[in-house]
Amino acid sequence: MRKSLLATGGAVAAAVLILALLATSCGTGNQGGMSTDLRALMSARNLSEADVAAALKTYTPTGGRDEFYLFASGGHSGNLLVIGVPSMRILKYVGVFTPEPWQGYGFDEETRRIIRDGSPPGLPLTWGDMHHPALSETNGDYDGEYIFVNDKANARIAVVSLRDFATKQIVMSDLIQGDHGGTFVTPNTEYVIETAQFPAPLGGGYAPLSDYDDEYRGAQIFWKFDRTRGRIVPEESWAIELPPYMQDLADAGKLASDGWIFCNSFNTERAYGGIQQGNPALESGASQNDMDYLHIFDLRRAEAVVKQGRTTLIAGMRVLTLPVLVEEGLLHFVPEPKSPHGVDIAPDGNAICVSGKLDTHVTVYDFAKIRQLIEQKRYDGVDPYGVPILPFRDAIRGQVEIGLGPLHTQFDDRGSAYTSVFIESNVARWSLADLTLQEKIPVHYNIGHLCAAEGDALHPRGKYLVAMNKWAIDRFSDVGPLLPQNFQLIDISGDKMQVLYDLPIPLGEPHYAQMISADKIKAIEMYTPVGTDPVTGELHPDAVVREADARVDRRADGVHVYMTLVRSHLNPDIVEVRRGDRVVFHVTNLEQARDATHGFAVDKYNVNLSVEPGKAADAAFVADRAGVFPFYCTEFCSALHLEMAGYLLVKP
Ligand code: K7E
Ligand code: CUA
């Protein structure tokens, strides 16, 4: 035992201690009582002491709470995943870009409007490709009020409130055709940043690919967030035009670099594929140059230039064009090796970390040096669009040799940085102070992003890191050709990192996540007063706050059913309409008891609401088929839940 303890490190100490305690507390007369049971369990399940230590570090007894919330993108599902850490219990999937039946999201009129307002005219989108969640920040630290997410496929940004864990708004700009570099917030959440990946004519027009260099452009949007209203204000938002490289992820500066925005890019070759046309495929066309450009943008000065009205209106968005950016000295480039992915600002606000997918290093830039180069106008030339390029060697602090395929970097509370290494499938821990590699731990497999506790905020918490692995080839029971992703929880509190837990993610490919201290989340327990519309946060105009007011109103625009839900009946419970009538159910849950949620479904009319305590919501449809259509409560709310039902009679 001594030997294995030494071999596997301090992580095992907890398990050993507990085994020892159990053994002694049982007394000599009962030698080994519980301890023997534990040992038998370990051998029956073939568990090592390290396994038991890992189990003890994640196990959360019933009723227990987690120390952190992990908010992870749900990838193709368009949902946001909420996971407890360290238990790795899934707490919720929040419907955001995609209708989500359990929450009635995208089914009631209120949330259908959210999706419709964030979709092309006449085409309410039914999926999203969620990549990067960003928690709202105050003074550079997460404040637990809001979370923003992007939809790469459709260039959308959503606002989710962490009061009720529900989506409040989706905005889509026609300026760009898809985003990848979103979302990132400024240290006080004045802006939510969204950056296009695929150059295209700004504003959605057509231009042939032969005009790529002249007509195709990148762009970065600064969505203005109004915290008191909890909404993005499109009219106060603006954007910058960028060269037709592929802009990637961004990060907002903090402390010394506050007011600056950093965005990496690849494809400075301006390749656009064309295999059939005799061009190299995009993957090789975009990988010719040894260096691409880190974009350094002066947000504070740009705000002043926007205020002066030096913008051009494109697709309803005020845009600072490239000539204005150049003329005003708002945008600079510095070379970055090679086809980079992601840029991460260290907690000191000065170290800017970039990894090249095709380079073995993390390059650490020094903001103080960058600032000086900009002030001294020390350029190594300009790019084809006139953007000045700072000299690489004079802008960096140094490079850390990491391994093959480094991607993203996070930080802890002890001066270490953690970089995901995709090709090698590991997490590298390195020292920010002297830029030396400290340790690598294998993960399974093909890690993309990684997420440490508050790991990109001003004050990271350390303790835990989640490796977000793309492949899970041999980790779980087989479920056919489409495999889940694998989140691996890693203990980073000790001198040696230890993998604690594998959580399969079965509904999409998550990209990024953020982890926040649980005590910062102040969620409501129900909607108060009764009749609240969760989307507006105000009393729903058609709420029925007393059962005495439940009724059916026949009006020129249709049949309005004012319905109350309370355990265990719906009132009215018989509704008669004529075929062709428009029917609007205005449904209010009168309950003010925790978890007393009722559902409301009408059979074969695609009506499905979730009506949490105090909530009011509408369902509208045209009853275009005659017949008898039962409606019922879809949440097992009470002993007489099955009796919580009624009939919609549609007369021919
Ligand atoms: Cu998958 Cu940030 Cu979209 Cu990297 S991204 S891995
Ligand atoms: Cu209400 Cu079941």
Residue 166 lies in a domain: yes
Is the CB of 200 within 6 Å of ligand 1? Answer: no
Tell how far the Cα of 567 is from the centroid of ligand 2, in angstroms: 6
Tell how far the Cα of 594 is from the centroid of ligand 2, in angstroms: 14
Same domain, 41 and 182: no
Q: Where residue 158 sits, what CATH number does that domain have? A: 2.130.10.10
Residue 507 near residue 74 (C-beta atoms within 8 A): yes
CA atoms 589, 590, 593, 596: torsion sign: negative
Same domain, 402 and 341: yes
User: Of 321, 299, 334, nearest to 242 (Cα)?
Assistant: 321
Q: Where residue 613 sits, what CATH number does that domain have? A: 2.60.40.420
Residue 527 lies in a domain: no
In angstroms, the CA 469 to CA 504 distance is 10
Same domain, 559 and 607: yes
DSSP helix/strand/coil, 632: strand
Residue 1: per-residue pLDDT: 34
CA distances from 630 to 389, 572, 634 (A): 68, 13, 12
- Ligand 2 atom closest to residue 598's alpha carbon, by position in its atom list: 1
Residue 18: per-residue pLDDT: 54
Same domain, 11 and 87: no
Phi–psi pair at 20, nearest 5 degrees: -65, -45
Pocket-testing residue among 73, 129, 130, 131, ligand 1, by greatest number of atoms within 8 A of Cβ: 131
- Write the residue with the smallest CA distance to atom 5 of ligand 1: 511
Q: What 3 state SS string does 434-453 have? A: CCCEEEEEECCCCEEEEEEE
Residue 46, both tokens: 């073939």
Same domain, 346 and 446: yes
In angstroms, the CA 625 to CA 149 distance is 39
Tell how far the Cα of 587 is from the centroid of ligand 1, in angstroms: 41
Cβ neighbour number for residue 373 with a 10 Å cutoff: 20
Residue 5: per-residue pLDDT: 37
Ligand nearest to the CA of 250: 1
Is the CB of 180 within 6 Å of ligand 1? Answer: yes
Ligand nearest to the CA of 609: 2
Tell how far the Cα of 449 is from the centroid of ligand 1, in angstroms: 6
Dihedral class, residue 639 (left if φ above 0, else alpha if ψ from -120 to 50, else beta): alpha
Same domain, 511 and 555: no
In angstroms, the CA 145 to CA 136 distance is 6
Residue 525 lies in a domain: no
Residue 646, both tokens: 């009624």
Amino acid at 334: V
Domain boundary among 520, 551, 578: 520
Phi–psi pair at 375, nearest 5 degrees: -65, -35
Tell how far the Cα of 422 is from the centroid of ligand 1, in angstroms: 11
Residues of the chain with pLDDT under 70: 1-34
Angle between helices 49-58 and 13-25 (to 10 degrees): 90
In angstroms, the CA 570 to CA 526 distance is 20
In angstroms, the CA 352 to CA 369 distance is 11
Sequence-separated (6 or more) residues with CB below 8 Å from residue 228: none
Virtual CA dihedral for 272, 276, 280, 281, nearest 10 degrees?
60
Is the CB of 448 within 6 Å of ligand 1? Answer: yes
* Strand blocks (E) in 346-455: 351-356, 361-366, 396-401, 406-411, 416-421, 426-431, 437-442, 447-453
Same domain, 516 and 568: no
Same domain, 555 and 473: no
- Ligand 2 atom closest to residue 634's alpha carbon, by position in its atom list: 2
Is the CB of 132 within 6 Å of ligand 1? Answer: yes
Same domain, 440 and 558: no
Amino acid at 71: F
DSSP helix/strand/coil, 566: strand
Cβ neighbour number for residue 321 with a 10 Å cutoff: 17
In angstroms, the CA 575 to CA 386 distance is 68
- Write the residue with the smallest CA distance to atom 1 of ligand 2: 598
Residue 445 lies in a domain: yes
CA distances from 165 to 79, 104, 524, 594 (A): 12, 13, 9, 16
Domain boundary among 36, 58, 80: 58
Residue 320: per-residue pLDDT: 98
- Ligand 1 atom closest to residue 468's alpha carbon, by position in its atom list: 6
**Helices (H) then strands (E): counts for the chain:** 11, 43
Is the CB of 357 within 6 Å of ligand 1? Answer: no
Residue 526 lies in a domain: no
User: Of 108, 98, 93, 77, nearest to 606 (Cα)?
Assistant: 108
Pocket-testing residue among 264, 407, 422, ligand 1, by greatest number of atoms within 8 A of Cβ: 407
Residue 6: per-residue pLDDT: 38
Number of domains in the chain: 3
State which residues form the domain around 540: 532-651
Tell how far the Cα of 593 is from the centroid of ligand 2, in angstroms: 13
How does DSSP classify residue 651? E
pLDDT per residue as tens digits for the range 583-634: 999 999 999 999 999 999 999 999 999 999 999 999 999 999 999 999 999 9
Ligand nearest to the CA of 639: 2
Quickly list DSSP for 255-319: GGGTTEEEEEEE-TT-----TTTTPPPHHHHTT--SEEEEEEEEHHHHHHHHHTT--EEETTEEE
Same domain, 155 and 221: yes
- Ligand 2 atom closest to residue 567's alpha carbon, by position in its atom list: 1
Domain boundary among 457, 492, 520: 520
Q: How far apart are the first and last CA of the chain?
A: 80
Tell how far the Cα of 451 is from the centroid of ligand 1, in angstroms: 12
Ligand nearest to the CA of 130: 1
Ligand nearest to the CA of 151: 1
Residue 545 lies in a domain: yes
- Give the residues surrounding ligand 2 with Cβ less than 6 Å away: 568, 598, 633, 635-637, 641, 644
Residue 599 lies in a domain: yes
In angstroms, the CA 581 to CA 557 distance is 9
Residue 13 lies in a domain: yes
Ligand nearest to the CA of 447: 1
Residue 42: per-residue pLDDT: 96
Sequence-separated (6 or more) residues with CB below 8 Å from residue 377: 388
* Strand blocks (E) in 86-189: 90-95, 134-138, 141-151, 156-161, 166-172, 179-185
Residue 510 near residue 539 (C-beta atoms within 8 A): no
Pocket-testing residue among 150, 183, 249, ligand 1, by greatest number of atoms within 8 A of Cβ: 249
CA distances from 378 to 242, 262, 370, 387 (A): 21, 19, 10, 13
Same domain, 289 and 398: yes
Quickly list DSSP for 533-545: ETTTTEE-TT---
Tell how far the Cα of 82 is from the centroid of ligand 2, in angstroms: 25
Residue 357: per-residue pLDDT: 87
Same domain, 166 and 296: yes
